[in-house]
Amino acid sequence: MRYSVAQIEDQLIATIREDTTNFGGINLIDTLAGEVNPQMLLFNPEMMQGFIKLLPFVLVSYRGRAGQKFDRDSSGKIYAHTLTFRFFTGAQSVRRTQEAVRNNYDMMAALYDDIHGRVPACTPQQLSGYTALGGIPITIPEFNPLGPFYESGGQDESLVINLPGIVVYKSDFSVRVVA
């Protein structure tokens, strides 16, 4: 394999952390293995209390890879994979749900500005004309991003949780790499 999901994920997290203008007051910017959903909160009061302490947050979850039938060379030695990462942005308001929603809108816009159109940082090659993500450059010798991160096709941004004062949205971004 010519890429490391962990290294790309680390760069995504580093990029968000470096944006202190938009994410400076965030309690948690980290990896998440799994999903954020309302059922996990509604039926478990202890989890709800722990969840509230994490807000506001940005969590990154690797969603897996996809390849298409023709995403390989004729010998079958080189494949192209599309890696998808999901970002959960969570905010709260003790006054009004609308305030939590608007805080999420701001985080999603900042996330888009920080991720969309950027390539994973790598050495020594770099896609000219693109800005690299932050963090430690990927050092796998044959690492080759085929383009920058873009919003995933389809419904790439949607509401996940809308409870009184707690709002969570998800945003999906994908990047194509040589496998």
- The pLDDT score that the predictor gives to residue 111 is 95
Backbone angles phi, psi at 175, to 5 degrees: -140, 145
| Dmax (CA) of the chain | 61
Q: Are 149 and 118 contacting, i.e. CB atoms less than 8 angstroms apart?
A: yes
- The pLDDT score that the predictor gives to residue 126 is 64
How buried is 133 (Cβ within 10 angstroms: 0-12 exposed, 13-18 middle, 19+ buried)? buried
- The pLDDT score that the predictor gives to residue 132 is 92
Tell me the pTM: 0.89
- The pLDDT score that the predictor gives to residue 38 is 82
Backbone angles phi, psi at 74, to 5 degrees: -65, -25
All domains in the chain, ordered by first residue: 5-178 (3.30.2000.10)
Q: Are 140 and 3 contacting, i.e. CB atoms less than 8 angstroms apart?
A: yes
- The pLDDT score that the predictor gives to residue 71 is 63
DSSP string, the chain: ----HHHHHHHHHHHHHH-HHHHTT-SEEEE-SS---HHHHHT-HHHHHHHHHH-SEEEEEEEEEE--TTSB-TTS--BEEEEEEEEEEEEE-SS-HHHHHHHHHHHHHHHHHHHTTEE--BSS---TTSEEPSSSPB--TT--BSS--EEPSSS-EEEEEEETTEEEEEEEEEEEEE-
- The pLDDT score that the predictor gives to residue 15 is 97
CA 174 to CA 92: how far, in whole Å?
A: 27
- The pLDDT score that the predictor gives to residue 101 is 84
Note down pLDDT in tens along the chain; length 179 residues: 789 999 999 999 999 999 999 999 899 999 998 888 887 777 777 777 888 888 899 999 999 998 765 566 666 667 889 999 999 999 887 666 778 788 899 999 999 999 999 999 987 666 677 899 999 999 888 888 888 999 987 778 999 988 877 889 999 999 999 88
